[in-house]
Amino acid sequence: MEKNCTSVWKECLEFFRDNLGESANYKAWFSPIKAVKLENSTLTIQVPSQFFCEYLEEHYVDLLRSAIKRTLGPEGRLEYAVIVDNTNHNNPFVVTSESGYRKETRNQPIAMPVPKQSQQLPDPFIIPGITKAKVNSQLNSSYSFDNFVEGECNRLARSVGYSIAEKPGKTGFNPLFLYSPVGLGKTHLMNAIGLQAKLNNPDLTVLYISSDLFTQQFSDAARNTDFKNKNKQKNDPKGSPDDDNKLGTINDFVHFYQHIDMLLIDDIHKLVEKPKTQDVFFQIFNQLHQSGKQIIISSDKPPVELQGIEQRLLSRFKWGLAAELQVPDVETRIAIMQKKLHSSGVEMPKEIIEYIAYSISTNVREMEGVLNALLAQSIYNKKTITMELARKMIDQIVHNSAKEISIDYIQKVICDHFNLEPSKIHTNTRRREIVIARQLAMFFAKKHTKNSLASIGAQCGKRDHATVLHACKTIQNLTETDKAFKGIVEELDKKIKN
């Protein structure tokens, strides 16, 4: 069968996947690439930016070389086409590569909008009295990369965010769209990217803004514009130039955003069903994106699930990269707490840290809430931090929905009881006590959590739903026939429910 660019690239991707696994790096740097041409043993691949191509050359040149040799033989060559996929302006040009692969240049710069000189806005972000308006970034300095614990749950988003901070607007990850349910680190990570970008380049104009504040600023500006127009029509003396300078209009609002180099807009789902605010955001987005400025957006859902946001905006959100922040695993949750404890200088027994991490699995903010409450009790009320106190704080603070017993916690209670390493549950061993522990974990997960059989199986040693069903029946049978076993099950049940 004759090879074409797609089949060759498909083979290359398999080779990369073999070498890198389905890792964050594979997803970030290889999945977005498309093959566009195969001619005289030269494969042309489309990458989203020059930085992207430089990054590949710097980090993966050997891997790329081996893949091309394997698929196209010793004559094989690779060429990059940098295509800014903005649909509204085709901008293909092919670039130089360090690795000795051929290059060519085809096309053209993007038209840069020339921002009009903006009047100084009566805006909370402008520090008055400086000729070149200086924007207060509104970044939270404690939300740095240093304080952001890395785990499997955030590896892709974190590494892409780090690259963006090095080359804002030039990575192909524009916009970066971060999504997750509440409390999993979106605001923290966006701030970290902004802080790091400022560290790398203090002159960069970065702005962090919540969608709520953006909406409020916009509606103030819209009201002021209406007010002025009416007064002008009436020829009212109130519409004098003096007032013009005090009240920001929609034009001022848009111009203010035009000179931002990195815009971090948090919780974009709050713009749902607000068509006018979406309209103005669309305008700002286009202007920034076309001038190569970086945009980072966060949302509680991925773009495809954001109902009530205009299609033209959603399609733009997909231009860059949508990265999910997942629920951190128990080790990451423990590491997050340890980091926080370390900076507070308070010591806490390891079992209590573990107990909190096992009890609160779906929301880092709530976990921190419990930790803060315990620290306050210890520092201000001079109370000793005990398991009892930890339990009480969890009951007081944690939202009922999140208080569902986690599978991690069930496994921990069972393994503690049998004196086993929790990781043993995930192995393939047929040792009787481990098989029983695994079956008990499945049984209690079915009893106390809302997880599906498939999800329980996946979390208990990657088994399928039929195995979980079988485990539940086995445990049920054993409790009915073996009195001693029944006693153990009841004791475990009590411990799990506290």
Total residues in contact with ligand ADP, by rule CB under 6 A: 17
Question: Using CA of residue 136, residue 142, residue 146, residue 148, what is the dihedral sign?
Answer: negative
Stretch 132-171: interaction string toward Mg ion, x if CB under 5 A: ----------------------------------------
Q: How far is CA 82 from CA 54, 104, 107, 154, 159, in A?
A: 11, 10, 10, 28, 21
Place of tokens 């107990």: 355
Select from 186, 255, 333, 463 the one that contacts ligand ADP (CB under 6 A).
186
- Using CB under 6 A as the binding rule, whether residue 182 contacts ligand ADP is answered as yes
Per-position b or e across 129-140, b if 16+ CB within 10 A of its CB: eeeebebebbbe
Name 39's bridge partners: 42
185 contact, one of Mg ion, ligand ADP, none, CB 5-8 Å limit per kind: ligand ADP
Stretch 114-143: interaction string toward ligand ADP, x if CB under 6 A: -----------------------------x
In 3-state terms, what secondary structure has residue 44?
strand
User: Do the Cβ atoms of 174 and 289 come closer than 8 Å?
Assistant: yes
Q: Which residue is nearest to Mg ion (CB)?
A: 187
Q: Toward Mg ion, which CB reaches closer, 187 or 278?
A: 187
Secondary structure percentages of the chain, helix, strand, coil, to 5 = 55, 10, 35
| Vertex 380 angle, CA 378 and 386, to 5° | 20
Span of 88-96, 252-260, 363-371, 388-396 interacting with ligand ADP by CB under 6 A? 363-371
Name 321's bridge partners: 176
- Using CB under 6 A as the binding rule, whether residue 304 contacts ligand ADP is answered as no
Select from 172, 183, 194, 457 the one that contacts ligand ADP (CB under 6 A).
183
- Using CB under 6 A as the binding rule, whether residue 161 contacts ligand ADP is answered as no
Q: CA 192 to CA 203: how far, in whole Å?
A: 17
Name 91's bridge partners: 84
Contact positions with Mg ion (CB under 5 A) in 49-78: none
- Using CB under 5 A as the binding rule, whether residue 211 contacts Mg ion is answered as no
Span of 63-71, 182-190, 388-396, 460-468 interacting with Mg ion by CB under 5 A? 182-190
336 contact, one of ligand ADP, Mg ion, none, CB 5-8 Å limit per kind: ligand ADP
Residues in contact with ligand ADP by CB under 6 A are 143, 147-149, 154, 180, 182-188, 336, 364-365, 368
Residues in contact with Mg ion by CB under 5 A are 186-187
